[in-house]
Structure 1
C-alpha cells in the first residue's frame, strides 16, 4: 500500500471517529431545546423556532465563507476554532434564561458550525475516491444514527434533572472533539491549489447549474429540520413523556443499521443518484401528509419510520451527487455553498414550523403544519424533476445523465 493511500485510510478512520463525537454532541442538546423551552418553560414555539432558524441560517448561509477560508488556510485551524465556539455556545445555552440569550447561543453555535463544517465535508472528498464515496457516506450515516441516539438518550435522561446538565454535557463533548482535532488531525490542504479566498467563492457562484440545484434543495431541508422542532413536541404530546424523543432516535438508528447499506447497494445497481433523491423526498412528503391524520403515538412512530426511510434513501445519494460536482480547486467552497439550501430551508422550516404550530393550536387545527410541509415537499420534487430532465420512459439504470444548466 502506497504512503498516499495509507494517509487516506488514516484520514478516513479519523473522520469516522470525529464524526461520532460531533453528532453525539449536537444531538445531545438540539432535540431537547424545543422540549425544554416550549414544553417545560412555556415559551412561544415561534420564538424558539426563530432562534433555531437563525442558527441554521448563519451556519449554512455563511458556509461559502467558511469553505473559502478553509481553501485558503487549510482545514485544521477552521475545524478546531469552530468546535471551540460550538462548545462555548452550549455553555451559554445551558444558562439561557431569556429568549435573547437563547438566540445569542444559537448564533454562536451557528458561527462555530460555519467554520468547521465545510472543511470537514471537503476532507471527505479529498480522502475518498469517487467509487468509494457513496458507500463512505452510507457508513457515516450509520455512525450518525448511532451517535444521534446516544446523544438524544443521554440528553433526555439529563433533562430529568435540569437543562443545565444537557447544555454543559454538549459543551464537554465539543471540547473533547476540538482537542482530538488539535492533536491528531494532520494539516491537510483541502484545495488542489492555494489562492485568494475570493477566487474560490467566485468559482462556486459562477456555476449556475450547481447553484440552481442547491437552492432547490431548500424544500427538502425544510422537511428534515422538523425532526428538531415539530416531531419532538408532537410525540411528547401524544405519549405524555419526553422519553418518546429518545425512542425516536432509537427508531432512526435501528432503521439506519438495517436499511442504509442494503438500500444504498440496491440503489447503486438500479437507480441514478437523481432518482434516489426524488424517491426519498416523495416518501418523506407522503409521510408528513399521513402525520396530519395521526392521533395516537404508536401510529406516529409508524409514520415516522416512513419519514426516516425517505431520508435513508435520499441522504447518501444527495451527498455523493453534491460532492461529484465540486471542483478540485475550490472543494471546501463548493461544500460550504452546498449548505445554502440547508440555510434557507432550515431557517424557513424552523421559523415557519414554529409559527404553523402556534397557528394550528390557535385555530384548533393540529394538521395545519403537516399539510403545509407536505405541499412544500411535493413542490420540491416537481422542481427537481424538471432539473434532472427525467425521460418519459423509465428503464433499468435510468437517467444517469448530467444535471441541466
Structure 2
C-alpha cells in the first residue's frame, strides 16, 4: 500500500506525524549547539556540561516511564500536550538561566517533558492504524522526524549562529504549538484500545524475563558510547573551528543520509546478519567516528566523522527496537519499551558524566587519550555482543523480517536515544 494511502482519511495520524515533525524541529534547533552554548555563554566546564546532559537523560527516561504508564491508563492526548508544554518551559529556562544549579533544574524539567511524549506518541501511532500497516506508519514517523531534524540543523547554520537566546525561545514556541495541535487535533482516550486494562500487579512480569533484562543491561554500554557524539563533537568543534555552531549542518546531512540510505542498509546488512552482530558493528563505527575527532580541524572533517557515526546509528537503532520487540511479551510491549528506556537513560547518564570528565581531564580534548578510549570501547562492545549472542536464551533474537523494517526509523529516537531525542 502506498504511504499516502495510510494518511488519507486518517486525520489523527496525519496530525500526529506533523507533531513528530514539529517536536524534532524544536529539539534539533537546540541539540547541535547546546554543549557550545553551555560552555561559551553560561560558562560551564566540560564536566558540568556532561552532568547537565546526564540530568536531561535521567529525567527524560523518568518521564518516559511515567508517561507510558499514564498514557495507557488515562489517554495519550493529554500526556503528549502536557509533555510539550513542560519541555517548552525547560527550553525557556536555558535561554535565561546562567547559574549552574538553575541550569540543572532547567535540564530536569526539559528532560521530563521530553520523556512524556515518546511512549505516548509510539502507542498512539500503533492504535491509529491496523496491525499490518504499523511498520509503514512508523516508517512515516521516521521520515517526518528526519525532515524536522534536517530543517533544524540547516536553520541554525543559516540564521541563528549569532543569537543563542533566540534559538531556545524559538524552540520553546515550536513546542507550545505542538501542544496546541495535540490538544485540538488528536482524539481523546487510547484510540481503539481501552485505557487501564493492565493491572498494576501485572507490571512485575517484565522482571521475570531474564533474557530481556540481560539484553537491556548490556545496551547500557552501547548508549554510554553513543551519547558521546552529541557531547564531544560540539566541544571539539568549538575549540578548533572559527565558529563552532557551524557543526549544526552535520545534523542536517546526517538526517538526509538516513532518509536516503537506511532502507539499503536494512535490506543488505541488517536482515542478513545476527542482530547482536549488527549492534556490535554499529558501535565499532561510532567508536571510530569519535576517535577520528582527534584529527578534526576543518568543518569537512567533522562532516566526515558525522557520516561515519550515522552509519553506526543506522545499524544500531532499528536492530535494538526489533530485538526488544522479540524479547518482550506482546501484551506488555509498551511497558517493556518503557523499561528499555530506563536502561537507555542509565547508559546515557553514565556516558555523559564520564565523557564530560574525560574531556576535561584531557586538557579540553587536546590530547589523544579520550579518542583512543572511544575507539577501543567500540571494539570491546562488539566483542561483548559476539559473546552474548552465544548465550542460548538469546537465540530468540533473529534478523528482522521485511515488515519489521520497512524504511528509515532511526530518529531517537528514539530515541533518541540521545539526550534530546524524543518522539
Q: TM-score range by the shorter chain?
A: 0.7 to 0.9
1:278 corresponds in structure 2 to 280
Query: In the aligned structure 2, how far is the partner of 1:6 from the partner of 1:254?
Result: 22
- Render the CA deviation track for 1:273-306: whole Å, top value 9, x for unaligned: 4443333222222333333444554333323211
1:118 corresponds in structure 2 to 119
1:349 corresponds in structure 2 to 351
Q: CA deviation at 1:328?
A: 4.3
1:52 and 1:316, CA in 2 relative to 1: closer, same or farther beyond 3 A? same
1:184 and 1:205, CA in 2 relative to 1: closer, same or farther beyond 3 A? farther
1:304 and 1:117, CA in 2 relative to 1: closer, same or farther beyond 3 A? same
Query: In the aligned structure 2, how far is the partner of 1:154 from the partner of 1:25?
Result: 11
User: Does structure 2 retain, via aligned residues, the 8 Å contact 1:278–1:385?
Assistant: yes
1:36 and 1:225, CA in 2 relative to 1: closer, same or farther beyond 3 A? same
Residue of 300, 303, 321 corresponding to 1:301 = 303
User: Does structure 1 retain, via aligned residues, the 8 Å contact 2:86–2:110?
Assistant: yes
1:219 corresponds in structure 2 to 221
Q: CA deviation at 1:171?
A: 0.8
- Render the CA deviation track for 1:42-69: whole Å, top value 9, x for unaligned: 3211112211111101111453333222
The SS at the match of 1:177 is: helix
TM-score normalised by length of structure 1: 0.85
1:349 and 1:138, CA in 2 relative to 1: closer, same or farther beyond 3 A? farther
User: Does structure 2 retain, via aligned residues, the 8 Å contact 1:69–1:197?
Assistant: no
Query: In the aligned structure 2, how far is the partner of 1:259 from the partner of 1:335?
Result: 26
User: Does structure 1 retain, via aligned residues, the 8 Å contact 2:59–2:109?
Assistant: no
Instruction: Please tell me whether residue 106 in structure 1 is matched to residue 118 in structure 2.
Output: no
- Render the CA deviation track for 1:145-184: whole Å, top value 9, x for unaligned: 3212322333455644432211111110110111111111
CA RMSD after TM alignment: 3.1
Instruction: Please tell me whether residue 186 in structure 1 is matched to residue 187 in structure 2.
Output: yes
User: Does structure 1 retain, via aligned residues, the 8 Å contact 2:91–2:171?
Assistant: yes
1:172 corresponds in structure 2 to 173
- Render the CA deviation track for 1:166-219: whole Å, top value 9, x for unaligned: 111111011011111111112352766724663353233332222222221122
Instruction: Note the residue ranges of structure 1 that are not aligned, 5 or more in a row.
Output: 392-397
Instruction: Note the residue ranges of structure 2 that are not aligned, 5 or more in a row.
Output: 401-423
1:114 and 1:273, CA in 2 relative to 1: closer, same or farther beyond 3 A? same
Query: In the aligned structure 2, how far is the partner of 1:168 from the partner of 1:82?
Result: 17
1:317 corresponds in structure 2 to 319
Instruction: Please tell me whether residue 389 in structure 1 is matched to residue 390 in structure 2.
Output: yes
Query: In the aligned structure 1, how far is the partner of 2:346 from the partner of 2:242?
Result: 32
The more displaced of 256-265 and 271-280 is 271-280
Q: CA deviation at 1:308?
A: 1.0
1:294 and 1:33, CA in 2 relative to 1: closer, same or farther beyond 3 A? closer
User: Does structure 2 retain, via aligned residues, the 8 Å contact 1:142–1:260?
Assistant: no
1:395 corresponds in structure 2 to none
2:376 corresponds in structure 1 to 375
Instruction: Please tell me whether residue 21 in structure 1 is matched to residue 30 in structure 2.
Output: no
Query: In the aligned structure 2, how far is the partner of 1:387 from the partner of 1:10?
Result: 44
TM-score normalised by length of structure 2: 0.82
User: Does structure 1 retain, via aligned residues, the 8 Å contact 2:280–2:383?
Assistant: no
Query: In the aligned structure 2, how far is the partner of 1:138 from the partner of 1:266?
Result: 18
Query: In the aligned structure 2, how far is the partner of 1:158 from the partner of 1:92?
Result: 22
- Aligned residues between the structures: 392
Q: CA deviation at 1:11?
A: 4.9
1:52 corresponds in structure 2 to 53
- Render the CA deviation track for 1:293-352: whole Å, top value 9, x for unaligned: 445543333232111111122212222332344444333322211212321111112111
2:361 corresponds in structure 1 to 359
Query: In the aligned structure 1, how far is the partner of 2:106 from the partner of 2:89?
Result: 8
Query: In the aligned structure 2, how far is the partner of 1:137 from the partner of 1:378?
Result: 31
After superposition, residues 323-342 of structure 1 pair within 5 angstroms as 323-342=325-344
The more displaced of 238-247 and 165-174 is 238-247
Q: CA deviation at 1:222?
A: 1.9
1:64 corresponds in structure 2 to 65
- Render the CA deviation track for 1:71-111: whole Å, top value 9, x for unaligned: 22122221111111001111111111211111111100122
Instruction: Please tell me whether residue 208 in structure 1 is matched to residue 210 in structure 2.
Output: yes
User: Does structure 2 retain, via aligned residues, the 8 Å contact 1:68–1:200?
Assistant: no
Query: In the aligned structure 2, how far is the partner of 1:58 from the partner of 1:319?
Result: 21
User: Does structure 2 retain, via aligned residues, the 8 Å contact 1:222–1:345?
Assistant: yes
Query: In the aligned structure 2, how far is the partner of 1:122 from the partner of 1:228?
Result: 27
